[in-house]
Amino acid sequence: MSVPFSLFAEMQLQPETQLQFVLRKATNEARVILVLLAVFSIFAWYMMVFKGLQMRRAKKLNQFFESEFRNQKDVLGIFDRKLDVIGCPYFTVYQEGCQQLDARLKAGGESRQSRINLKGMEHVKRALESAVAKESIKLEAGLIILASAVSGAPFLGLLGTVWGVMDTFAMVGQSQIASLEKMAPGVSAALITTVAGLVVAIPSMFGYNALVHRLRVQTVELDNFAQELASKIETEYLKED
């Protein structure tokens, strides 16, 4: 029984770290802001990991579908096979374009015509453009959280610092005794919120920039695929005047 007690007594005698001292001296307002920044950080890291995996998976599926698309002889080959590739932006764009093409070729009937006119082709192109825009919005969804972390976290931390310094000077003014022993703990505790804000904002900034770059690349590739698909549809099905 004496061993656990001696270990506990030894832990009690150990001096507290600087961070523990600062947190102990922090005001309730600063602690609330630190909790908010911690929650902000959790959401930011979750979004960075989630969007990174989502874009990586979309890129792999796009590569697989592109190879399958180039190997087919007819534009509607994959569409007629009733394939379903969930989470693949290329497939979603392809499916939207082929559905519109199929509707124009059938023109209310059961059998397909061999050609469509220029007006029908314009409808197919608009369907492809709409699908590209929708898929780009899906990939972009959630990045606002990282943008908010980059721009908002430092200001939230600065708010806690200014508030803490204000309280420290108010305490000194009320006591009418200005000494380093009275001011240093309050000022150091106030500065911890600015540090926390930067800890949240800096990783979010790098993650946001990396994800935005990947988003732009994938959006351009998606638009190029839609244009290639439209060209193949024109070659195979557009009626020549």
Each residue's pLDDT tens digit, 144-158: 999 999 999 999 988
What is the end-to-end Cα distance of the chain in Å, rounded? 99
What are the φ and ψ backbone dihedral angles of 238, each rounded to 5 degrees?
-75, 130
Mean pLDDT throughout 215-233?
A: 94
Cα distance between residue 71 and residue 91, in whole Å? 15
Angle among Cα 194, 198, 202 to the nearest 5 degrees reads 175
pLDDT greater than 80 at residue 26: no
How crowded is the C-beta side of 185, counted as CA atoms within 13 Å? 12
Burial of 135 (0-12, 13-18, 19+ CB in 10 A): buried
Interval 98-144: pLDDT, tens? 999 988 888 766 777 878 888 888 999 999 999 999 999 999 988 99
pLDDT for 86: 86
pLDDT band of residue 213 (cuts 50, 70, 90) is very high
Report the predicted TM-score, pTM, of the whole model to 2 decimal places: 0.79
